[in-house]
Structure 1
Amino acid sequence: MRSKSLSFVAAAALLFTVSCSTVRETRPLAYGGEDGAFTIAPIENILIQRGYTPSCRAREWCKFSQNADVTIHFKVKGTKVVLAVDVSKKLPEAKRAELNDAGMKLGQEIFEEANAKAMASEQAKADAKKAEDARAAQNKPAPSEDKGGGFLGALSSALNSGVSVSGGASGGSGMPSMPSMPTMPSMPTVGGAQSSSGARAGNAGGGSSSGSSSGSSSASCCINKAFYECPSVAAVNKCSGNFMACMSKCGFGGDFSCAEACQKDHPMDPSDCRRDTSRDGTCG
């Protein structure tokens, strides 16, 4: 116990000696962004590029020795970074003042360079987050009235969904035809990809395709009256075609397990399509 106490006293004495061996001057520096912690990584990189060997803790502080008598510190304090310069006490007062001024000037210069880099980094991250949120919002289906879950909910989704394919020069049907549902009013028809050879009848289930010699093609999908422009028939299938084709087999027989299976196995996914709010009115 006595040896531990002596060790503690010795350590405290050493710390006191070190802290009293230098004279420190501090200066708060204002960071131009939202979080001063963004400056630490640029400060460390700048110091390394200038040939110094910094000691840093990510997003908290960084320090380096300018020479044997001067140590410069950067410490994050919210939107500010505190610059501190330690100069050895063993030097004459005039020399200490000279080295202190030189250290402050160097620290200020390094901080200003890091400030510009940190602000650019912070802005880039904010822009990336904003773009990501915009893409997520664009691909999110428009909200619709709550129709409940189970069979009725799935049926409501099907009634408010649709696919459309027009134009094209491909020779075959690119997506499954939609069997007709005579007892289901307003059920959208799922069209097949068109052929340049002219109009052709769809599958026996009621799908349709029409001819076009224009050589161009377009495909679209509607989910809850939200319009999506799709780059391919495969994207239309993923958007709502596969779900609707599955739902058409359930009919009005009250087969809840069938509807739930469609929701699970063929969820409507417009992620491969582009949201176009200006054409929502074309969704029936």
Structure 2
Amino acid sequence: MNVVIEANGLTKSYGAKTVVNKVDLQVEKGEIYGFLGRNGAGKSTFMNMITGITQPSAGSFRLLNESSLEKVKHRIGVLPDYSMFYDSLTAVGHLKYFAKLNGCRASTKRCETVLERVGLLEDGYKKAGRFSFGMKKKLGIAQAIIHDPELIFLDEPTSGVDAESALYIHKLLIDLQKEGKTIFMTSHNLYEIEKMCTRIAIMKNGSILKEGTIDELRKHFMSNISVQIRHSDIPDQHFGLINGFLESAGEQLEYRGHEISIIVNSEEKIPAIVRVLTNCKVGIYRIHVDEPSLEEIFLDDTEKSSVSSI
């Protein structure tokens, strides 16, 4: 396992208020790792600590197997939750400047290539003072990748941009992953996290509630799976057997003409139901399973946490 981000007990407090609370985390090379949570959950503070913008109150971290940021700063790229640009500098001028800060020189051609990747090529020689918020966000992503870093940190990369630009950025991040980059991104946009990330951590009140792949999170939270089965006639001699099995397999069992509706607490029960029906000479025409979206998982877990904390 090639771990490129490792945090151990990372904590940040401001006086009596703990913003990030003893977070342990590992991210492997080549992942798009999503840090999901509502505004104020502690996502940006965590990222600011591991990128050197702010100092931890406790705990430790390593990036690219190094505990010293000085040794790896030229190998990482960062889009913070705010980006400051010089109004009088063009986009190309900014990229040359940021590349130099990271210890490399960027040719005009390299700058234009990166601006094209983020959808800003036509505005490459405009001064940043004329840029909209969304354009500055794209320029912020461009400055994070101008020096071709191995590890890229992006704080809310699509917040404030239009839908078309967001799709452009999504494609860019997937392309960067295919090129072998590792991406750590924060977001409160459930759709983009679900669409792109290989693994996700759900954060609330400074702590990680749950971490895993989309499928792992769904499996963890899928306690009420709604199943509808469209079927042929049920033979009279087999109805008792089928009904008894279904009553033991789930809850809220309903027969509506040629459709069975049932709630089960595990997806493993679905193939068992199908086997019983087919063994009893019932034809299966269609099966519809309602899986929880990431939003339902997220809201369900945060609501439970809120209730348990009262």
Give TM-score, length-normalised by structure 1: 0.27
Greater RCO structure (CA 8 Å; 6+ sep): 2
Structure with bigger strand share is 2
The structure with the larger Rg is 1
